[in-house]
């Protein structure tokens, strides 16, 4: 019997482990991993053998299968992909990308002991926020700032600190749900606050807020309707009006901006998004926003506001549970530094670079891809270049679209198209497009370079895309 003949009965773990073929796997993956994975492989062989005595593979096939499973076992499931979905800040695809030079600082603080919470002057315990607080204050005009794990945590912490066991009025038009799991009413109750719904879904008036204020009101709050817009017969009370009403009643005004930009995006030809400094100028005592949405930094929730309120928020024991680690602080610092030079921001910050790319550049990429894709897909599909609209994503400027260019792939049937989309996802560097109107679109707004994409086209599995 040779190693390419089918086995006659399921082999033992020891027999395989002592074979020559297994020894190179042991060298590469370690005996313990090989044994563990081999046990699972042999167990499924024995099950199959019970059902069908002719089901056994050859020794060669068994070793190949073992190697494949070991590769999967050793690999990290979180990996790089190409986001050609047309959504620049895609929450499921990891939102903002950090520029390479930011990572040097992250690596430096991650691989060394640091003064994270240590004051080098006094030799006493310090505060991790001090490393970024003044930078955030300079960029936003706020008196004080603190940082937590994400904006959901920021809202939770603010409400729990300022509103616990009290009432918080919010307009019915602003009871948002973000990404399926962040909902204002639920965050409110988990923070220990009682939500008081104000006005109607489409129209809320200042009088509605006034009527909602009671002796038990903790604060007034506005929430940026990040992922929808109410149109038609509508009325919203402006942040400055709500702020004035709050202050007349000695209450703080909290504004959850969601994305919140640090700069005026219209200067870059982009749609208008409220800036953090304008929210503070309009009278907010506390503003919350994300680090990895339009800001373009690491996942974080930034809370800015008056010295007194930020101090209360930092003193909440929950802050400890929601705090950021040193790598986030390092990345956030470097990203915020880029904002001190707004003229070169679009060059250095990937999020802004993607959002402001000229159409001609996208067209060039599309033309580079057209021939290689057409010849790879040959009879399986038609490939063309189309005009599309990209979106910013992550609840930033939900209705605004950016003119863009995409590769459009038309297959012979819906199932062939789905199979094709799956084979692009199955590439060594998975490519994620979007299906629209019976076509697969690869929006080029977030593509930096076509070579990597083209070089791997020979790995496309087209076996299920034939009809």
Binding site for ligand PLP (CB under 6 A): 150-152, 155, 176, 178, 182, 223-224, 226, 256, 258-259, 290, 301, 395
Nearest CB to ligand PLP, comparing residues 258 and 283: 258
Mutual orientation of helices 326-338 and 130-140 as an angle, nearest 10°? 30
User: Considering the complex, what minimum distance in angstroms separates the CB of residue 412 from ligand PLP?
Assistant: 40
Nearest CB to ligand PLP, comparing residues 147 and 420: 147
- The residue behind tokens 């304008």 is 278
- Retrieve residue 97's tokens: 């990308």
User: Considering the complex, what minimum distance in angstroms separates the CB of residue 297 from ligand PLP?
Assistant: 11
User: Considering the complex, what minimum distance in angstroms separates the CB of residue 299 from ligand PLP?
Assistant: 7
What is the C-alpha to C-alpha distance for residues 149 and 303, in angstroms, rounded to an integer?
A: 11
User: Considering the complex, what minimum distance in angstroms separates the CB of residue 152 from ligand PLP?
Assistant: 3
Nearest CB to ligand PLP, comparing residues 63 and 155: 155
* Residue 419 backbone zone (phi > 0: left; psi -120 to 50: alpha; other: beta): alpha
Sign of CA dihedral 97, 339, 337, 357: positive
User: Considering the complex, what minimum distance in angstroms separates the CB of residue 9 from ligand PLP?
Assistant: 55
Residue whose CB is nearest to ligand PLP in the complex, by number: 258
Nearest CB to ligand PLP, comparing residues 239 and 258: 258
Nearest CB to ligand PLP, comparing residues 242 and 421: 242
What is the C-alpha to C-alpha distance for residues 66 and 41, in angstroms, rounded to an integer?
A: 7
What is the C-alpha to C-alpha distance for residues 172 and 212, in angstroms, rounded to an integer?
A: 12
User: Considering the complex, what minimum distance in angstroms separates the CB of residue 264 from ligand PLP?
Assistant: 19
Give the largest CA-CA distance in the chain: 92
Nearest CB to ligand PLP, comparing residues 3 and 91: 91
Where are the strands (E) in 260-394, listed by range? Answer: 286-290, 301-305, 381-393
Nearest CB to ligand PLP, comparing residues 290 and 423: 290
- Element holding 260 (H helix, E strand): none
User: Considering the complex, what minimum distance in angstroms separates the CB of residue 232 from ligand PLP?
Assistant: 22
CB-based contacts of 29: which residues, under 8 Å, 6+ apart?
70, 73, 74
User: Considering the complex, what minimum distance in angstroms separates the CB of residue 263 from ligand PLP?
Assistant: 18
Which of these, 163, 312, 251, lies nearest to 303 by C-alpha position?
312
Where are the strands (E) in 30-150, listed by range? Answer: 82-83, 118-119, 124-125, 144-148
- Element holding 135 (H helix, E strand): helix 130-140
301 touches 290 (CB < 8 A):
yes
Nearest CB to ligand PLP, comparing residues 150 and 404: 150
């Amino acid at each position: 019997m040779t190693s390419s003949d089918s086995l006659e009965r399921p082999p033992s773990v020891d027999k395989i482990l002592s074979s020559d073929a297994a020894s190179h796997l042991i060298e590469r993956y370690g005996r313990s991993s090989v044994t563990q994975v081999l046990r699972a492989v042999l167990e499924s062989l024995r099950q199959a053998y019970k059902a069908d005595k002719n089901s056994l593979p050859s020794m060669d096939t068994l070793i190949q299968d073992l190697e494949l499973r070991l590769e999967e076992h050793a690999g990290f499931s979180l990996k790089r992909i190409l986001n050609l979905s047309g959504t620049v800040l895609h929450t499921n695809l990891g939102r903002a990308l950090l520029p390479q030079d930011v990572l040097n600082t992250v690596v430096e603080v991650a691989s060394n002991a640091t003064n994270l919470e240590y004051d080098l002057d006094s030799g006493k315990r310090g505060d991790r926020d001090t490393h970024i607080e003044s930078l955030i204050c300079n960029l936003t005009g706020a008196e004080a700032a603190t940082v937590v794990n994400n904006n959901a945590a920021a809202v939770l912490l603010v409400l729990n600190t300022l509103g616990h066991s009290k009432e918080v009025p919010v307009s019915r038009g602003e009871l948002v749900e973000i990404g399926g799991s962040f909902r204002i009413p639920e965050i409110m109750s988990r923070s220990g606050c009682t939500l008081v719904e104000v006005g109607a879904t489409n129209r809320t008036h200042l009088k509605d807020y006034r009527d909602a204020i009671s002796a038990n009101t903790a604060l007034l709050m506005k929430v940026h309707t990040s992922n929808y817009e109410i149109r038609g017969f509508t009325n919203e009370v402006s942040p400055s009006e709500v702020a004035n009403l709050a202050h007349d009643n000695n209450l703080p005004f909290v504004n959850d901006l969601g994305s919140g930009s640090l700069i005026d995006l219209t200067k870059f030809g982009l749609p208008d998004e409220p800036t953090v400094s304008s929210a503070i100028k309009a009278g907010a005592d506390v503003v919350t926003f994300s680090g990895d949405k339009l800001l373009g930094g690491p996942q974080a929730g930034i809370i800015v506001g008056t010295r007194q309120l930020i101090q209360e928020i930092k003193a909440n024991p929950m802050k400890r549970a929601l705090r950021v680690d040193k790598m986030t602080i390092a990345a956030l610092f470097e990203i915020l530094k880029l904002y001190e030079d707004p003229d070169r921001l679009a060059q250095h910050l990937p999020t802004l670079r993607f959002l402001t790319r000229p159409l001609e550049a996208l067209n060039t990429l599309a033309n580079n891809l057209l021939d290689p894709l057409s010849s790879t897909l040959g009879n399986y599909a038609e490939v063309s270049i189309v005009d599309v609209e990209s979106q910013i994503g992550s609840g930033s400027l939900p209705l605004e679209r950016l003119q863009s260019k995409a590769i459009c792939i038309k297959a012979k049937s819906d199932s062939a198209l789905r199979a094709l989309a799956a084979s692009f996802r199955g590439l060594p560097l998975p490519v994620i497009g979007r299906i629209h109107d019976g076509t697969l679109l690869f929006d080029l707004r977030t593509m930096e370079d076509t070579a990597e994409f083209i070089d791997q086209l020979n790995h496309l599995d087209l076996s299920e895309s034939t009809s």
